[in-house]
Amino acid sequence: MVGLITGVIVSFYRYALHIFNVLRETFVSPATLHNYPFLIKIWCLFLVVGFFIDFLYRKYPRTSGSGIPQVKGIILGTVHYKHWFAQLLAKFVGGLFGIGAGLSLGREGPSVQLGSYVATGIAKSFHCNRVDENYLITSGASAGLAGAFGAPLAGVMFSLEELHKFLTAKLIICIFVASIASDFIGRRFFGMDTSFSMLAHYPKDINPYLQFALYILFGVIIAFFGKLFTVTLVKTQNLFQGIKISRWMKVVFVMSTSFLLCLVLPEVTGGGHELVESLPHLQQGILFLFFVFVIKLLFTSISYATGFAGGIFLPMLVLGAILGKIFALILLSVFPFTPEMIVHFMVLGMVGYFVSVVRAPITGAVLILEMTGSFDHLLALVTVSVVAFYVTALLKLAPVYDILYERMPKDDIEETHDVESMGKTLIVVPVAAESYLDGKKISEVEWGEEVLVVALRRSELEKIPKGDTVMQSGDNIVLLLPESIVAEVKEKLLQKGIE
Protein backbone atom coordinates (compact mmCIF):
# COMPACT_ATOMS: atom_id res chain seq x y z
CA MET A 1 0.00 0.00 0.00
CA VAL A 2 2.81 2.43 0.89
CA GLY A 3 4.61 1.67 -2.37
CA LEU A 4 1.55 2.03 -4.59
CA ILE A 5 0.34 5.31 -3.05
CA THR A 6 3.85 6.75 -3.03
CA GLY A 7 4.26 5.74 -6.66
CA VAL A 8 1.12 7.64 -7.64
CA ILE A 9 2.09 10.79 -5.73
CA VAL A 10 5.71 10.82 -6.90
CA SER A 11 4.68 10.16 -10.51
CA PHE A 12 2.31 13.14 -10.41
CA TYR A 13 5.14 15.14 -8.86
CA ARG A 14 7.54 14.21 -11.69
CA TYR A 15 4.93 14.98 -14.34
CA ALA A 16 3.99 18.33 -12.77
CA LEU A 17 7.67 19.30 -12.57
CA HIS A 18 8.04 18.50 -16.26
CA ILE A 19 5.09 20.78 -17.10
CA PHE A 20 6.49 23.61 -14.95
CA ASN A 21 9.94 23.25 -16.56
CA VAL A 22 8.40 23.43 -20.04
CA LEU A 23 6.48 26.57 -19.05
CA ARG A 24 9.61 28.17 -17.60
CA GLU A 25 11.68 27.43 -20.71
CA THR A 26 8.89 28.76 -22.93
CA PHE A 27 8.30 32.09 -21.20
CA VAL A 28 11.71 32.77 -19.61
CA SER A 29 14.55 32.21 -22.04
CA PRO A 30 17.25 34.17 -23.92
CA ALA A 31 14.67 34.70 -26.69
CA THR A 32 12.61 36.99 -24.41
CA LEU A 33 15.52 39.22 -23.37
CA HIS A 34 14.34 42.24 -25.38
CA ASN A 35 10.71 42.19 -24.24
CA TYR A 36 11.24 44.37 -21.17
CA PRO A 37 7.60 44.90 -20.05
CA PHE A 38 7.01 41.15 -20.21
CA LEU A 39 10.22 40.42 -18.31
CA ILE A 40 9.23 42.76 -15.48
CA LYS A 41 5.92 40.93 -15.09
CA ILE A 42 7.68 37.54 -15.04
CA TRP A 43 10.22 38.82 -12.50
CA CYS A 44 7.37 39.94 -10.24
CA LEU A 45 5.81 36.48 -10.65
CA PHE A 46 9.11 34.88 -9.57
CA LEU A 47 9.12 37.04 -6.44
CA VAL A 48 5.51 36.12 -5.61
CA VAL A 49 6.41 32.44 -6.01
CA GLY A 50 9.40 32.93 -3.72
CA PHE A 51 7.31 34.57 -0.98
CA PHE A 52 4.72 31.79 -1.27
CA ILE A 53 7.35 29.07 -0.91
CA ASP A 54 8.88 30.95 2.01
CA PHE A 55 5.46 31.06 3.69
CA LEU A 56 5.20 27.26 3.37
CA TYR A 57 8.73 26.86 4.71
CA ARG A 58 8.01 28.99 7.81
CA LYS A 59 4.64 27.35 8.48
CA TYR A 60 5.95 23.79 8.01
CA PRO A 61 9.71 23.88 8.71
CA ARG A 62 9.95 20.07 8.58
CA THR A 63 9.33 20.27 4.83
CA SER A 64 12.52 22.24 4.23
CA GLY A 65 15.45 21.07 2.14
CA SER A 66 15.73 17.63 0.63
CA GLY A 67 13.79 15.82 3.37
CA ILE A 68 16.27 12.96 3.70
CA PRO A 69 17.74 14.27 7.00
CA GLN A 70 14.16 14.51 8.34
CA VAL A 71 13.51 10.88 7.39
CA LYS A 72 16.70 9.86 9.22
CA GLY A 73 15.40 11.78 12.23
CA ILE A 74 12.04 9.99 12.11
CA ILE A 75 13.77 6.59 12.10
CA LEU A 76 16.10 7.61 14.94
CA GLY A 77 13.21 9.05 16.96
CA THR A 78 14.44 12.65 17.04
CA VAL A 79 11.81 14.04 14.65
CA HIS A 80 8.04 13.68 14.57
CA TYR A 81 5.47 14.56 11.90
CA LYS A 82 2.66 16.30 13.79
CA HIS A 83 0.48 17.10 10.75
CA TRP A 84 1.64 14.60 8.15
CA PHE A 85 -1.02 15.31 5.50
CA ALA A 86 -0.62 19.09 5.60
CA GLN A 87 3.16 18.67 5.43
CA LEU A 88 2.81 16.28 2.50
CA LEU A 89 0.84 18.90 0.57
CA ALA A 90 3.30 21.66 1.55
CA LYS A 91 6.28 19.53 0.44
CA PHE A 92 4.60 18.69 -2.87
CA VAL A 93 3.59 22.27 -3.68
CA GLY A 94 6.77 23.89 -2.31
CA GLY A 95 9.06 21.61 -4.31
CA LEU A 96 6.93 22.00 -7.42
CA PHE A 97 7.02 25.81 -7.39
CA GLY A 98 10.64 26.10 -6.24
CA ILE A 99 12.15 23.77 -8.83
CA GLY A 100 9.62 24.99 -11.39
CA ALA A 101 10.90 28.56 -10.82
CA GLY A 102 14.40 27.45 -11.76
CA LEU A 103 16.04 26.86 -8.37
CA SER A 104 18.86 24.33 -8.70
CA LEU A 105 17.24 21.63 -6.61
CA GLY A 106 16.34 18.01 -7.31
CA ARG A 107 13.12 16.02 -7.06
CA GLU A 108 14.58 12.95 -5.35
CA GLY A 109 14.82 14.30 -1.77
CA PRO A 110 11.23 15.56 -1.75
CA SER A 111 10.14 12.23 -3.27
CA VAL A 112 11.81 10.35 -0.41
CA GLN A 113 10.08 12.53 2.17
CA LEU A 114 6.74 12.28 0.37
CA GLY A 115 7.03 8.51 0.74
CA SER A 116 7.72 8.90 4.45
CA TYR A 117 4.59 11.07 4.84
CA VAL A 118 2.48 8.41 3.12
CA ALA A 119 3.95 5.75 5.42
CA THR A 120 3.28 7.87 8.50
CA GLY A 121 -0.35 8.34 7.49
CA ILE A 122 -0.86 4.62 6.91
CA ALA A 123 0.92 3.72 10.16
CA LYS A 124 -1.36 6.07 12.11
CA SER A 125 -4.46 4.77 10.32
CA PHE A 126 -3.64 1.18 11.29
CA HIS A 127 -2.35 2.12 14.78
CA CYS A 128 1.06 0.55 14.15
CA ASN A 129 3.65 0.38 16.90
CA ARG A 130 6.96 2.24 16.67
CA VAL A 131 8.89 -0.68 15.16
CA ASP A 132 6.38 -1.31 12.38
CA GLU A 133 6.05 2.41 11.71
CA ASN A 134 9.81 2.63 11.17
CA TYR A 135 9.64 -0.27 8.69
CA LEU A 136 6.85 1.51 6.83
CA ILE A 137 8.69 4.85 6.80
CA THR A 138 11.83 3.21 5.42
CA SER A 139 9.67 1.47 2.81
CA GLY A 140 8.09 4.80 1.87
CA ALA A 141 11.53 6.39 1.49
CA SER A 142 12.64 3.54 -0.79
CA ALA A 143 9.46 3.85 -2.81
CA GLY A 144 9.99 7.60 -3.16
CA LEU A 145 13.48 7.24 -4.61
CA ALA A 146 12.40 4.36 -6.84
CA GLY A 147 9.55 6.45 -8.22
CA ALA A 148 11.70 9.55 -8.67
CA PHE A 149 14.29 7.85 -10.87
CA GLY A 150 12.64 4.62 -12.03
CA ALA A 151 15.32 2.76 -10.06
CA PRO A 152 13.82 0.25 -7.57
CA LEU A 153 17.11 -1.45 -6.67
CA ALA A 154 18.72 1.92 -5.96
CA GLY A 155 15.77 2.74 -3.69
CA VAL A 156 16.42 -0.45 -1.74
CA MET A 157 20.16 0.11 -1.46
CA PHE A 158 19.72 3.76 -0.47
CA SER A 159 17.57 2.78 2.50
CA LEU A 160 20.09 0.16 3.60
CA GLU A 161 23.24 2.27 3.12
CA GLU A 162 22.01 5.72 4.05
CA LEU A 163 18.98 5.39 6.34
CA HIS A 164 19.26 2.16 8.34
CA LYS A 165 22.89 1.20 7.65
CA PHE A 166 22.15 -2.44 8.46
CA LEU A 167 20.17 -5.33 7.01
CA THR A 168 17.48 -7.64 8.33
CA ALA A 169 15.32 -10.08 6.39
CA LYS A 170 12.11 -8.28 7.32
CA LEU A 171 13.51 -4.89 6.37
CA ILE A 172 14.72 -5.96 2.93
CA ILE A 173 11.40 -7.66 2.10
CA CYS A 174 9.45 -4.54 3.12
CA ILE A 175 11.54 -2.07 1.15
CA PHE A 176 11.79 -4.37 -1.89
CA VAL A 177 8.02 -4.75 -2.12
CA ALA A 178 7.44 -1.01 -1.70
CA SER A 179 10.10 -0.04 -4.25
CA ILE A 180 8.81 -2.48 -6.85
CA ALA A 181 5.23 -1.32 -6.34
CA SER A 182 6.26 2.32 -6.73
CA ASP A 183 8.32 1.57 -9.84
CA PHE A 184 5.38 -0.36 -11.33
CA ILE A 185 3.17 2.73 -10.98
CA GLY A 186 5.90 4.99 -12.35
CA ARG A 187 6.30 2.90 -15.48
CA ARG A 188 2.56 3.19 -16.14
CA PHE A 189 3.10 6.97 -16.29
CA PHE A 190 6.48 7.24 -18.03
CA GLY A 191 6.93 3.97 -19.90
CA MET A 192 9.80 1.50 -19.74
CA ASP A 193 12.60 3.85 -20.83
CA THR A 194 15.48 4.56 -18.48
CA SER A 195 15.63 7.88 -16.63
CA PHE A 196 18.58 9.17 -18.71
CA SER A 197 18.29 8.85 -22.48
CA MET A 198 21.99 8.45 -23.29
CA LEU A 199 23.79 5.94 -25.49
CA ALA A 200 26.65 4.93 -23.23
CA HIS A 201 29.08 2.42 -24.73
CA TYR A 202 32.04 0.90 -22.96
CA PRO A 203 35.30 1.72 -24.82
CA LYS A 204 36.69 -1.74 -25.61
CA ASP A 205 39.62 -0.87 -27.89
CA ILE A 206 41.76 0.69 -25.16
CA ASN A 207 44.49 -1.00 -23.16
CA PRO A 208 42.74 -2.32 -20.01
CA TYR A 209 45.68 -1.42 -17.75
CA LEU A 210 45.60 2.16 -19.02
CA GLN A 211 41.84 2.28 -18.46
CA PHE A 212 42.22 1.01 -14.92
CA ALA A 213 44.87 3.64 -14.17
CA LEU A 214 42.62 6.36 -15.58
CA TYR A 215 39.71 5.18 -13.42
CA ILE A 216 41.86 5.40 -10.29
CA LEU A 217 43.12 8.86 -11.25
CA PHE A 218 39.58 10.06 -11.98
CA GLY A 219 38.29 8.65 -8.67
CA VAL A 220 40.97 10.57 -6.76
CA ILE A 221 40.29 13.83 -8.59
CA ILE A 222 36.53 13.67 -8.25
CA ALA A 223 36.79 12.95 -4.51
CA PHE A 224 38.40 16.36 -4.00
CA PHE A 225 35.62 18.00 -6.00
CA GLY A 226 33.14 16.11 -3.82
CA LYS A 227 34.69 17.70 -0.75
CA LEU A 228 34.38 21.06 -2.50
CA PHE A 229 30.65 20.46 -2.91
CA THR A 230 30.08 19.57 0.75
CA VAL A 231 32.18 22.45 2.07
CA THR A 232 30.49 24.93 -0.30
CA LEU A 233 27.03 23.71 0.70
CA VAL A 234 27.73 24.08 4.44
CA LYS A 235 29.57 27.41 4.15
CA THR A 236 26.78 28.87 2.01
CA GLN A 237 24.20 27.81 4.60
CA ASN A 238 26.22 29.49 7.33
CA LEU A 239 26.64 32.65 5.25
CA PHE A 240 22.96 32.78 4.29
CA GLN A 241 21.84 32.41 7.90
CA GLY A 242 24.52 34.75 9.26
CA ILE A 243 23.85 37.77 7.04
CA LYS A 244 21.97 40.32 9.13
CA ILE A 245 19.28 41.33 6.67
CA SER A 246 15.58 40.51 6.63
CA ARG A 247 14.44 37.16 5.30
CA TRP A 248 12.33 38.72 2.55
CA MET A 249 15.39 40.45 1.08
CA LYS A 250 17.21 37.11 0.94
CA VAL A 251 14.23 35.60 -0.88
CA VAL A 252 14.23 38.50 -3.36
CA PHE A 253 17.94 37.94 -4.01
CA VAL A 254 17.61 34.19 -4.60
CA MET A 255 14.53 34.42 -6.82
CA SER A 256 16.05 37.31 -8.81
CA THR A 257 19.21 35.24 -9.30
CA SER A 258 17.12 32.36 -10.57
CA PHE A 259 15.25 34.70 -12.93
CA LEU A 260 18.48 36.10 -14.38
CA LEU A 261 20.05 32.67 -14.84
CA CYS A 262 16.90 31.46 -16.62
CA LEU A 263 17.50 34.29 -19.10
CA VAL A 264 21.26 34.12 -19.63
CA LEU A 265 22.35 30.61 -18.59
CA PRO A 266 19.29 28.33 -18.44
CA GLU A 267 21.52 25.23 -18.42
CA VAL A 268 22.20 25.63 -14.68
CA THR A 269 18.57 26.13 -13.61
CA GLY A 270 16.24 23.44 -12.36
CA GLY A 271 17.42 19.98 -11.40
CA GLY A 272 19.55 19.60 -14.51
CA HIS A 273 18.14 16.42 -16.02
CA GLU A 274 17.98 17.94 -19.51
CA LEU A 275 21.55 19.27 -19.18
CA VAL A 276 22.92 15.76 -18.60
CA GLU A 277 21.16 14.43 -21.69
CA SER A 278 22.37 17.35 -23.82
CA LEU A 279 25.99 17.34 -22.59
CA PRO A 280 27.25 14.71 -25.08
CA HIS A 281 26.09 16.92 -27.97
CA LEU A 282 27.33 20.29 -26.70
CA GLN A 283 30.34 21.61 -28.62
CA GLN A 284 31.61 24.00 -25.92
CA GLY A 285 35.16 23.63 -24.70
CA ILE A 286 36.67 22.82 -21.33
CA LEU A 287 36.69 26.40 -20.01
CA PHE A 288 32.98 26.89 -20.67
CA LEU A 289 32.13 23.55 -19.05
CA PHE A 290 34.16 24.46 -15.99
CA PHE A 291 32.36 27.82 -15.85
CA VAL A 292 29.01 25.99 -15.98
CA PHE A 293 30.23 23.66 -13.22
CA VAL A 294 31.15 26.56 -10.92
CA ILE A 295 27.87 28.42 -11.51
CA LYS A 296 25.81 25.24 -11.03
CA LEU A 297 27.68 24.46 -7.80
CA LEU A 298 27.18 27.95 -6.38
CA PHE A 299 23.56 28.21 -7.47
CA THR A 300 22.77 24.78 -5.98
CA SER A 301 24.33 25.87 -2.66
CA ILE A 302 22.40 29.15 -2.66
CA SER A 303 19.13 27.43 -3.59
CA TYR A 304 19.53 24.86 -0.81
CA ALA A 305 20.51 27.50 1.75
CA THR A 306 17.04 29.06 1.48
CA GLY A 307 15.51 25.99 3.13
CA PHE A 308 13.01 25.68 0.30
CA ALA A 309 11.78 22.16 -0.52
CA GLY A 310 14.18 20.49 -2.92
CA GLY A 311 17.09 18.08 -2.91
CA ILE A 312 20.75 17.98 -3.94
CA PHE A 313 20.69 14.45 -5.35
CA LEU A 314 20.11 15.32 -9.01
CA PRO A 315 22.32 18.46 -9.02
CA MET A 316 25.13 16.24 -7.68
CA LEU A 317 24.74 13.89 -10.63
CA VAL A 318 24.76 16.83 -13.04
CA LEU A 319 27.97 18.22 -11.54
CA GLY A 320 29.56 14.79 -11.76
CA ALA A 321 28.57 14.46 -15.42
CA ILE A 322 30.14 17.85 -16.21
CA LEU A 323 33.39 16.82 -14.51
CA GLY A 324 33.31 13.55 -16.42
CA LYS A 325 33.06 15.34 -19.76
CA ILE A 326 35.85 17.75 -18.80
CA PHE A 327 38.11 14.81 -17.89
CA ALA A 328 37.22 13.01 -21.14
CA LEU A 329 37.98 16.08 -23.25
CA ILE A 330 41.39 16.36 -21.59
CA LEU A 331 42.04 12.70 -22.40
CA LEU A 332 40.96 13.19 -26.01
CA SER A 333 43.51 15.99 -26.34
CA VAL A 334 46.29 13.63 -25.15
CA PHE A 335 45.29 10.15 -26.37
CA PRO A 336 43.77 9.01 -29.69
CA PHE A 337 40.52 7.91 -28.03
CA THR A 338 37.13 7.81 -29.74
CA PRO A 339 34.38 10.35 -28.81
CA GLU A 340 32.38 7.63 -27.05
CA MET A 341 34.82 8.16 -24.18
CA ILE A 342 32.88 11.36 -23.35
CA VAL A 343 29.62 9.64 -22.39
CA HIS A 344 31.56 6.86 -20.68
CA PHE A 345 33.29 9.28 -18.32
CA MET A 346 30.10 11.27 -17.83
CA VAL A 347 28.56 8.10 -16.39
CA LEU A 348 31.63 7.52 -14.22
CA GLY A 349 31.56 11.15 -13.14
CA MET A 350 27.97 10.86 -11.91
CA VAL A 351 28.68 7.84 -9.75
CA GLY A 352 32.04 9.15 -8.52
CA TYR A 353 30.62 12.51 -7.48
CA PHE A 354 27.61 10.92 -5.79
CA VAL A 355 29.81 8.53 -3.81
CA SER A 356 32.30 11.21 -2.80
CA VAL A 357 29.49 13.38 -1.39
CA VAL A 358 27.00 10.83 -0.03
CA ARG A 359 29.49 8.01 0.81
CA ALA A 360 27.10 5.29 -0.43
CA PRO A 361 29.11 3.38 -3.09
CA ILE A 362 26.69 0.52 -3.76
CA THR A 363 23.73 2.87 -4.08
CA GLY A 364 25.69 5.08 -6.47
CA ALA A 365 26.72 2.22 -8.75
CA VAL A 366 23.26 0.62 -8.81
CA LEU A 367 21.53 3.98 -9.34
CA ILE A 368 23.59 4.90 -12.39
CA LEU A 369 23.27 1.41 -13.86
CA GLU A 370 19.49 1.60 -13.58
CA MET A 371 19.27 5.19 -14.82
CA THR A 372 21.40 4.51 -17.93
CA GLY A 373 20.30 0.93 -18.58
CA SER A 374 23.85 -0.13 -19.48
CA PHE A 375 25.62 -2.75 -17.37
CA ASP A 376 28.77 -2.67 -19.52
CA HIS A 377 30.19 -0.03 -17.19
CA LEU A 378 29.88 -2.10 -14.01
CA LEU A 379 33.61 -2.74 -13.46
CA ALA A 380 34.52 0.87 -14.20
CA LEU A 381 31.71 2.19 -11.98
CA VAL A 382 32.77 0.04 -9.05
CA THR A 383 36.42 1.04 -9.45
CA VAL A 384 35.68 4.77 -9.45
CA SER A 385 33.21 4.33 -6.56
CA VAL A 386 35.68 2.49 -4.34
CA VAL A 387 38.50 4.96 -5.03
CA ALA A 388 36.25 7.99 -4.42
CA PHE A 389 34.90 6.39 -1.23
CA TYR A 390 38.32 5.75 0.31
CA VAL A 391 39.84 9.06 -0.75
CA THR A 392 36.97 10.94 0.91
CA ALA A 393 37.52 8.76 3.99
CA LEU A 394 41.17 9.84 4.03
CA LEU A 395 39.98 13.44 3.68
CA LYS A 396 37.83 12.84 6.78
CA LEU A 397 34.74 13.99 4.90
CA ALA A 398 31.49 12.91 6.56
CA PRO A 399 28.51 11.93 4.38
CA VAL A 400 26.59 15.05 3.42
CA TYR A 401 23.24 13.78 4.71
CA ASP A 402 24.82 13.02 8.10
CA ILE A 403 26.15 16.59 8.20
CA LEU A 404 22.75 18.01 7.26
CA TYR A 405 21.06 15.81 9.85
CA GLU A 406 23.37 17.05 12.60
CA ARG A 407 22.67 20.67 11.61
CA MET A 408 18.90 20.15 11.51
CA PRO A 409 16.87 21.23 14.56
CA LYS A 410 15.52 18.23 16.49
CA ASP A 411 12.24 17.89 18.37
CA ASP A 412 12.18 17.83 22.15
CA ILE A 413 11.35 14.44 23.63
CA GLU A 414 8.05 15.81 24.89
CA GLU A 415 7.20 16.88 21.32
CA THR A 416 8.34 13.64 19.76
CA HIS A 417 6.19 11.40 21.94
CA ASP A 418 2.74 11.40 23.41
CA VAL A 419 3.56 11.25 27.11
CA GLU A 420 0.39 9.39 27.99
CA SER A 421 1.15 6.57 25.56
CA MET A 422 4.81 6.10 26.49
CA GLY A 423 5.76 2.51 27.20
CA LYS A 424 8.53 0.07 26.41
CA THR A 425 9.87 -0.53 22.92
CA LEU A 426 12.36 -2.82 21.21
CA ILE A 427 15.21 -1.69 18.99
CA VAL A 428 17.73 -3.82 17.10
CA VAL A 429 21.44 -2.94 17.01
CA PRO A 430 23.53 -4.71 14.34
CA VAL A 431 27.11 -5.74 15.06
CA ALA A 432 29.36 -4.83 12.12
CA ALA A 433 32.85 -6.21 11.61
CA GLU A 434 35.55 -4.27 13.53
CA SER A 435 32.93 -2.12 15.25
CA TYR A 436 32.98 -1.19 18.92
CA LEU A 437 30.72 -4.14 19.82
CA ASP A 438 32.53 -6.76 17.73
CA GLY A 439 34.32 -9.20 20.06
CA LYS A 440 33.06 -7.63 23.29
CA LYS A 441 31.10 -9.35 26.03
CA ILE A 442 27.59 -8.10 26.82
CA SER A 443 28.75 -7.07 30.29
CA GLU A 444 31.62 -4.97 28.92
CA VAL A 445 29.33 -2.49 27.17
CA GLU A 446 27.68 0.53 28.80
CA TRP A 447 24.18 0.13 27.37
CA GLY A 448 22.51 2.65 29.66
CA GLU A 449 20.68 2.48 32.98
CA GLU A 450 17.25 1.77 31.52
CA VAL A 451 18.37 -0.40 28.58
CA LEU A 452 17.99 -4.18 28.84
CA VAL A 453 19.59 -6.69 26.44
CA VAL A 454 16.80 -9.23 25.83
CA ALA A 455 18.00 -11.29 22.86
CA LEU A 456 20.90 -12.01 20.52
CA ARG A 457 20.12 -13.09 16.97
CA ARG A 458 22.85 -15.06 15.20
CA SER A 459 22.17 -16.57 11.78
CA GLU A 460 18.69 -18.10 12.07
CA LEU A 461 18.84 -18.58 15.84
CA GLU A 462 17.75 -16.28 18.65
CA LYS A 463 18.89 -16.80 22.23
CA ILE A 464 18.82 -14.99 25.55
CA PRO A 465 22.38 -13.75 26.15
CA LYS A 466 24.31 -13.79 29.40
CA GLY A 467 26.79 -11.25 30.68
CA ASP A 468 29.75 -13.26 29.34
CA THR A 469 28.22 -13.81 25.90
CA VAL A 470 30.66 -12.53 23.25
CA MET A 471 29.15 -10.57 20.39
CA GLN A 472 30.33 -11.29 16.83
CA SER A 473 30.03 -9.47 13.54
CA GLY A 474 26.73 -10.34 11.90
CA ASP A 475 24.86 -10.53 15.22
CA ASN A 476 21.79 -8.45 15.94
CA ILE A 477 21.30 -7.33 19.55
CA VAL A 478 17.69 -6.79 20.64
CA LEU A 479 17.31 -4.12 23.32
CA LEU A 480 14.30 -3.22 25.47
CA LEU A 481 14.10 0.40 26.66
CA PRO A 482 11.54 3.05 27.62
CA GLU A 483 10.03 4.78 24.63
CA SER A 484 10.72 8.13 26.27
CA ILE A 485 14.50 7.76 25.85
CA VAL A 486 14.60 6.26 22.33
CA ALA A 487 15.28 9.63 20.69
CA GLU A 488 18.12 10.27 23.12
CA VAL A 489 20.03 6.97 22.99
CA LYS A 490 19.12 5.13 19.78
CA GLU A 491 21.64 6.87 17.54
CA LYS A 492 24.45 6.33 20.08
CA LEU A 493 23.62 2.64 20.38
CA LEU A 494 23.54 2.17 16.61
CA GLN A 495 26.91 3.90 16.28
CA LYS A 496 28.43 1.38 18.70
CA GLY A 497 27.32 -1.45 16.43
CA ILE A 498 28.35 0.17 13.14
CA GLU A 499 31.49 2.20 13.87
Instruction: Please check whether residue 414 lies inside any domain of the structure.
Output: no
Instruction: Please check whether residue 200 lies inside any domain of the structure.
Output: no
Do 332 and 473 lie in a common domain? no
Do 326 and 227 lie in a common domain? yes
Do 174 and 212 lie in a common domain? no
Instruction: Please check whether residue 203 lies inside any domain of the structure.
Output: no
Do 165 and 307 lie in a common domain? no
Instruction: Please check whether residue 285 lies inside any domain of the structure.
Output: yes
C-alpha to C-alpha distance for 174 and 136, rounded to whole angstroms: 8
| pLDDT in the model for residue 412 | 60
Among 64, 59, 60, which residue's Cα sits nearest to residue 240?
Answer: 64
C-alpha to C-alpha distance for 327 and 109, rounded to whole angstroms: 28
* C-alpha triplet 96, 101, 103: angle, nearest 5°: 90
Among 347, 358, 320, which residue's Cα sits nearest to residue 145?
Answer: 358
C-alpha to C-alpha distance for 490 and 499, rounded to whole angstroms: 14
Domain end position, chosen among 354, 380, 407: 407
Do 53 and 132 lie in a common domain? yes
| pLDDT in the model for residue 293 | 96
Contact 467, 441 (CB under 8 A): yes
| pLDDT in the model for residue 89 | 96
Do 401 and 444 lie in a common domain? no
pTM over 0.85: yes
Do 24 and 165 lie in a common domain? yes
Instruction: Please check whether residue 195 lies inside any domain of the structure.
Output: no
Do 171 and 264 lie in a common domain? no
Q: Which amino acid is at 270?
A: G
* C-alpha triplet 350, 353, 357: angle, nearest 5°: 140
Do 182 and 217 lie in a common domain? no
Among 29, 12, 14, 4, which residue's Cα sits nearest to residue 262?
Answer: 29
Instruction: Please check whether residue 201 lies inside any domain of the structure.
Output: no
Domain end position, chosen among 407, 434, 466: 407
Do 471 and 396 lie in a common domain? no
Do 15 and 144 lie in a common domain? yes
Range of the domain at 444: 424-496
**Length of the chain, in residues:** 499
| pLDDT in the model for residue 289 | 94
| pLDDT in the model for residue 11 | 95
What's the chain look like in SS3? CHHHHHHHHHHHHHHHHHHHHHHHHHHCCHHHCCCHHHHHHHHHHHHHHHHHHHHHHHHCHHHCCCCHHHHHHHHHCCCCCCCHHHHHHHHHHHHHHHHHCCCCCECHHHHHHHHHHHHHHHHHHCCCCHHHHHHHHHHHHHHHHHHHHCCHHHHHHHHHHHHHCCCCHHHHHHHHHHHHHHHHHHHHHHCCCCCCCCCCCCCCCCCHHHHHHHHHHHHHHHHHHHHHHHHHHHHHHHHHHHCCCCHHHHHHHHHHHHHHHHHHCHHHCCCCHHHHHHHHHCCCCHHHHHHHHHHHHHHHHHHHHCCCCCECHHHHHHHHHHHHHHHHHHHHHHCCCCCHHHHHHHHHHHHHHHHHHHCCHHHHHHHHHHHHCCCCCHHHHHHHHHHHHHHHHHCCCCCHHHHHHHHCCCCCHHHHCCHHHCCEEEEEEECCCCCCCCCCEHHHCCCCCCCEEEEEEECCEEECCCCCCECCCCCEEEEEEEHHHHHHHHHHHHHHHHC
**Per the structure, how many domains does the chain have?**
3
Do 403 and 429 lie in a common domain? no
Q: Residues 6 or more apart from 21 whose CB is under 8 A from it?
A: 99, 100, 270, 274
Distances (CA, A) of 189 to 7, 13, 345: 10, 11, 30
Which CATH number characterizes residue 390's domain? 1.10.3080.10
Instruction: Please check whether residue 417 lies inside any domain of the structure.
Output: no
pLDDT in tens, the chain (499 residues): 999 999 999 999 999 999 999 999 888 877 777 888 889 999 999 999 999 999 999 999 999 988 999 998 888 888 888 889 999 999 999 999 999 999 999 988 899 999 999 999 999 999 988 888 989 999 999 999 999 988 899 999 998 888 877 777 788 999 999 999 999 999 998 887 777 777 677 777 788 888 899 999 999 999 999 999 999 999 999 999 999 899 999 999 999 999 999 999 998 998 888 888 888 888 888 999 999 999 999 999 999 999 999 999 899 999 999 999 999 999 998 888 888 888 889 999 999 999 999 998 988 888 888 887 777 788 889 999 999 999 999 998 889 998 999 888 877 654 444 444 457 788 888 888 888 898 899 989 988 878 899 888 887 688 888 888 999 888 888 888 887 777 678 878 888 877 7
Q: Residues 6 or more apart from 50 whose CB is under 8 A from it?
A: 101, 251, 252, 254, 255
| pLDDT in the model for residue 419 | 42
Domain end position, chosen among 158, 190, 222: 190
Which CATH number characterizes residue 450's domain? 3.30.70.1450
| pLDDT in the model for residue 422 | 53
Instruction: Please check whether residue 401 lies inside any domain of the structure.
Output: yes
